[in-house]
A and B are shown apart, each in its own frame.
Chain A
Amino acid sequence: MAALIDRLRDPSEKTLGLLLLAPAFLLLALIVVYPIGKLVFNSFFDLRLSGGGGAARFVGLENYALVLTDKDFWHATKNTVLITLITVPGALVVGLGLALLANLPFKKMGLPMWPVRLALLLPWALPLAFAGLIFAWFFHTEYGVVNDVARRFGADEPTMWLLRPGWAFAAICITIIWKTSSFMALILLAGLQMIPRSLYEAAEVDGASRWQQFWQITIPMLMPSIVVALIFRTITALQTFDIPYTMTKGGPGNATETLAMLIHKTTIEYLDVGYGSTMAVCMFVLSLAVTALYLKRIGQQA
């Protein structure tokens, strides 16, 4: 006992290191390892809260076999991947445009800086569900501003944006791009401001055009920021929930249902925790695979 106290009073390098790591390790174990472990554990059970007082039944890989043949799961996965493939590059392009705009020397032109910065921050500061509700009103058949504008330009028959599968999908993608490009822009703006002015000055001396400067200096110097922004954006895009949930609730039918929405519906509305967990594990693996791909790319760059 005394020896132990002595050792704690004068710990070796190794003991000290472990002691200092312990709080962080415990915290991570509690809020990351335990929930994920429990999720994987549940995915092997037939666990429905709708009845039977928690009578969970071990079913092994049965849930996973069900997932493989579940049309709804693959449909939702397809939607999620499509949303990711459309909105991530979309937000990157729009975000880069916004960042370049915000990086212009407003002060030198005698213009105030804050309107641009505010416009840049506002979509980012809005809660996702809030943005979804606002755009749902924009696209509403009767009261929406989109159809109002269309009517002023001579469209006689109002388009039912959120009731047509293709249009509803497009409306959701537009909303997501609007909402997320400001986050992209913020990261990219920080990156832009790190690029030394001297590079551009040297390029100008050498007679490089604006276009050449952009492709030869801005983009390569911005690459690390772009990759970071893409990783964050891709992971959140794979988890898309709030905007389609508030705009269409996955409708019409389940045309715009994403993976996160299907998991929410199965677990929270159907109270089928076992099967919902299985789908959540599959989604987790998907996110993990995508992140690993990005990280590998970063590793190669460094």
Chain B
Amino acid sequence: MKNLFTAALAAFALVLATGADAQTKLRVFSGGQQQRPDLMKRLFDEYTKRNPGVTIEIETGGATSELQRQYLSTILNAKDPAIDLYLIDIVNPAQYYGAGWLEPLNAWMGDAATAMKPYLPVYATSNVVEGKIAAMPAFADAMFMYYRRDLLDKHKVAEPKTWDELVAAAKKIQQAEGNPNLQGLSIQGAPIEGAVCTFLLPYWSQGKEFNDAAGRMTLDKGAAAAGLRQWLAMVDAGVIKKNVAEVKTPDTVNEFKAGQVIFAINWGFAWDRFKDDADSQVKGKVGVMPLPAMPGGRSATCIGGWQWAVSAFSKNKPEAARLVRYLTSPEASKFLAAEGSLLPTYPGVYTDADVVKAVPWFKDAANVVVAGKNRPMSRDYGQVSDIIRTTTSAVLARTKTPDEGVAEIENRLRRVMR
């Protein structure tokens, strides 16, 4: 009898054990703090509530995209199967997929053209490599042109459509205000990722492309030098401050917040800082507009944003892909927009009634994001980015002329981008 009881207990334990095995455990790399792991956790909780067979573990990483790329490149290069899903920056799908680190998602999402149709076009192209879906867009970001709506109204200045108009507008307001510390325009000139956009913005706004669809460089040296010369002319005109090569992303945010800047170019997160921070002097005085263009060119901005990708080394690919489908659904996009002001990758979500109510500025943001372009796609993006930002910063510090700087960028990149 006792033996029978033991046997029954053992059998029961076995059932329990196999029951536990039927549970799928997914480990997720959820970016750094800027990518709001707190909100992602709420999405995961909702998903595990609906799918009791799945448990999700979150891992977060470095504060910047560069640090995350260094970390992920190391573990993916070692074919580590521990992490099933990755949240990656828009500059990375080309490298990771090209290296064979990401599982193509076509098997679960369908063919690339149909699966990507609902998303903003720039995310559709950036996440598809050679017809395969390398990653699915989670949320968007872009460089925005913020401006002091109150000052423009006060001095009866219209939103500038070209860079020349912006200089004229800034000078008019600076003179009328008579504040020597009031900067016309704040851009990032320190050798940080933002300086890649500082190089590309005036270049793109002449209607030029940096690379073709296959990733080959199509740099127009004359136009690139003209773009850099324009920034320097703005420095000479007193619109941009002299030590621009020292300015990092938070400097622009803090100086604009302190009311010392008329126009400022920065990522989407800055809006909440201007609106919500206790020390913000510009609450309710800020507008967002598309970036100015060069005469004859067109408005363009630098796109950012984050995507979900499934590891090629994951042991739970089907389950991971199902989770990706949920995380990149319109429902999740709406949640991230309303709760965290994370920009949607679905054009439709920008005009969603609930979203517009929660984040009214998104209706202006939509016009900017639609004109977004991605930075050069390259397997060696780390190197491409370093070359562009270091040289741009040196030109803005005037240790190189624009022509020398552009020639150096071309020479160095030709070895990397081929």
Q: Which residues of A contact B79 (CB under 8 A)?
A: 53-54
Query: Are B243's CB and A53's CB within 8 A?
Result: no
Q: How far is the CB of A297 from chain B (nearest CB, A)?
A: 39
Query: Are A50's CB and B100's CB within 8 A?
Result: no
Query: Are B397's CB and A163's CB within 8 A?
Result: yes
Query: Are A160's CB and B397's CB within 8 A?
Result: yes
Chain A residue total in the interface (Cβ 8 A) = 29
Query: Are B98's CB and A51's CB within 8 A?
Result: yes
Q: How far is the CB of B409 from chain A (nearest CB, A)?
A: 11
**A253 touches which of B73, B95, B243, B394 (Cβ 8 Å):** B394
Q: How far is the CA of A272 from the CA of B391 in the complex (A)?
A: 20
Query: Are A252's CB and B70's CB within 8 A?
Result: no
Interface residues of A in 153-183 (CB under 8 A from B): 158, 160, 162-165
Q: Which residues of B contact A272 (CB under 8 A)?
A: 383
Stretch touching chain B among A118-126, A195-203, A262-270: A262-270
**B390 touches which of A48, A158, A253, A268 (Cβ 8 Å):** A253
Between A52, A164, A251, A255, the greatest number of chain B beta carbons within 10 A of the residue's beta carbon is seen for A251
Query: Are B394's CB and A252's CB within 8 A?
Result: yes
Query: Are A251's CB and B382's CB within 8 A?
Result: no
Does A94 reach chain B (CB closer than 8 Å)?
A: no
Query: Are B73's CB and A160's CB within 8 A?
Result: no
Does B242 reach chain A (CB closer than 8 Å)?
A: yes
| Minimal Cβ-Cβ distance residue in A for B408 | A253
Given contacts A160-B243, A163-B245, contact A54 B77 (CB under 8 A): yes
Chain B 369-404, CB-CB to A under 8 Å as 1, else 0, gives 000000000011011001000110110011110000
Q: How far is the CA of A48 from the CA of B379 in the complex (A)?
A: 11
Query: Are A253's CB and B399's CB within 8 A?
Result: yes
Given contacts A141-B243, A251-B394, A270-B382, contact A49 B399 (CB under 8 A): no
| Minimal Cβ-Cβ distance residue in A for B94 | A51
Q: How far is the CA of A54 from the CA of B399 in the complex (A)?
A: 39
Query: Are B380's CB and A270's CB within 8 A?
Result: yes
Q: How far is the CB of B257 from chain A (nearest CB, A)?
A: 16
Does A249 reach chain B (CB closer than 8 Å)?
A: yes
Does B11 reach chain A (CB closer than 8 Å)?
A: no
Does B101 reach chain A (CB closer than 8 Å)?
A: yes
Q: How far is the CA of A51 from the CA of B391 in the complex (A)?
A: 25
Chain A 250-288, CB-CB to B under 8 Å as 1, else 0, gives 111111000000000100111110000000000000000
Query: Are A249's CB and B383's CB within 8 A?
Result: no
Q: How far is the CA of A270 from the CA of B412 in the complex (A)?
A: 13
Query: Are B393's CB and A253's CB within 8 A?
Result: yes
Q: How far is the CB of B267 from chain A (nearest CB, A)?
A: 20
**B66 touches which of A51, A253, A269 (Cβ 8 Å):** A269
Does A140 reach chain B (CB closer than 8 Å)?
A: yes
Does A204 reach chain B (CB closer than 8 Å)?
A: no
Q: How far is the CB of B418 from chain A (nearest CB, A)?
A: 13
Query: Are A52's CB and B191's CB within 8 A?
Result: no
Interface residues of A in 218-253 (CB under 8 A from B): 249-253
Does B279 reach chain A (CB closer than 8 Å)?
A: no
Q: How far is the CB of B386 from chain A (nearest CB, A)?
A: 6
Q: How far is the CB of B70 from chain A (nearest CB, A)?
A: 6
Does A142 reach chain B (CB closer than 8 Å)?
A: yes
Between A48, A51, A250, A254, the greatest number of chain B beta carbons within 10 A of the residue's beta carbon is seen for A51
Query: Are A270's CB and B243's CB within 8 A?
Result: no
Interface residues of B in 114-159 (CB under 8 A from A): none
Query: Are A51's CB and B243's CB within 8 A?
Result: no
Query: Are B243's CB and A271's CB within 8 A?
Result: no
Interface residues of B in 204-247 (CB under 8 A from A): 242-243, 245-246
Query: Are B380's CB and A251's CB within 8 A?
Result: no
Query: Are A142's CB and B98's CB within 8 A?
Result: no
Chain A 24-56, CB-CB to B under 8 Å as 1, else 0, gives 000000000000000000000000111111100
Given contacts A49-B77, A160-B242, A270-B382, contact A251 B397 (CB under 8 A): yes
Interface residues of B in 37-89 (CB under 8 A from A): 66, 70, 73-74, 77-79
Q: How far is the CB of B380 from chain A (nearest CB, A)?
A: 5
Task: Please list the 6 inter-chain residue pairs (A to B) with the smallest Cβ-Cβ separation, ordered nearest first.
Answer: A253-B394, A51-B99, A141-B243, A252-B397, A163-B397, A49-B77
Q: What are 30 A-B residue pairs whose CB atoms fall within 8 Å in the complex?
A: A49-B73, A50-B379, A51-B95, A51-B99, A51-B379, A53-B77, A53-B101, A54-B78, A54-B79, A140-B246, A141-B243, A160-B243, A162-B246, A164-B397, A165-B399, A249-B191, A252-B245, A252-B394, A253-B390, A253-B393, A255-B394, A268-B70, A269-B382, A269-B386, A270-B380, A270-B382, A270-B383, A270-B386, A271-B77, A272-B383
B contact residues vs A (CB 8 Å cutoff): 66, 70, 73-74, 77-79, 95, 98-101, 191, 242-243, 245-246, 379-380, 382-383, 386, 390-391, 393-394, 397-400
